[in-house]
Amino acid sequence: MTRRAVVKGVGHYLPERVVPNAEFEKTLDTSDEWIKSRSGIERRHFAAPNQTTSDLATHAAKAALDMAEMEGNDIDAIVLATSTADLTFPSAATMVQQAIGNTKGYAFDVQAVCAGFVYALSNANALIASGQADRVLVIGAETFSRIMDWTDRGTCVLFGDGAGAVILEAETGTGTTDDRGILATDLNSDGRYKDLLYVDGGVSTNSTGVLRMVGKEVFRHAVEKLAQTAHTALDKVGLGPDDVTWVVPHQANIRIIQSTAKKLGVGMDRVIVTVQDHGNTSAASIPLALSVGVSNGQIKQGDLVVTEAIGGGLAWGAVVIRW
């Protein structure tokens, strides 16, 4: 028998402020059509001045708890993926822990930029598989609007704020790919490419910094590495693209999503796409898309779901889940 991490609930939260592409026309040499044609993005959400990443994460966590019919103290561990935590320390995860009334578990942040949720899922799966936790709340939450260079039309129009959450619970499976739960994970990073996507400041450099990106190079690496990691994760359990019900990719750019799906051998009719409504929400994009997919009736119990993401580092990875 095999101990599996099974999805019991999902939830998401988006700030109230919706920012359409047209709003950028007031301050940048850009247009709605230019942004849509290059990214597929039509609008995104920005957090209010008084909203923090942990605020967004808490809303998503509570929605996931409601779906799972659980309370805060039913959770053993919280793993929160973010690059935009409220404070240098403590972790945003501990702030969510307090907000949901969890007093018996443990909480920590994971930082792998846009690949953060895949890393967080992998860590949560390991906690459950090893018996260190029975129920894990996994969150991706970001306020990337706080680290934008508003004069750089190549980056500031791409990102948005939001949060998504998934609750995993231990169940005993047969050890086959028919089991519900996480079946395989694949994580990778290569620090040689750190200058392709980064924030040019931080605590130990005594500066705040803004996001910098070499877009063409990130695009090239993304398509190659996302298809590769998805294939690798599927290969680990003897599955292939034809077995996949849904691909839920990091929502960075519609052209990356389309190119990766083609390289993976999966039609776009089997890909969950939310980038048009949310923009790139970094570590929040996959759990947001999962929650939307469930809400829309697309993702159903028994479906084989593959998530894949790439972000600064470069860091990338994939997770195979039987829903």
- State the catalytic residues: 114, 250, 280
Report the C-alpha gap between 43 and 159 in whole angstroms. 10
CB-CB neighbours of 191 under 10 Å: 9
- In single-letter form, the type of residue at position 122 comes to S
What letter represents residue 195's amino acid? Answer: D
Q: What six digits make up the tokens of 238?
A: 């003897």
3-state SS, one letter per residue, for 184-240: EEEEEECHHHHHHEEECCCHHHCCCCCEEECHHHHHHHHHHHHHHHHHHHHHHCCCC
Contacts 24+ apart (CB under 8 A), 194-198: 194/312, 194/313, 194/314, 196/221, 196/312, 196/314, 197/113, 197/311, 197/312, 197/313, 197/314, 198/312
The answer for residues whose C-beta is within 8 angstroms of residue 104's C-beta and 6 or more apart is 73, 76
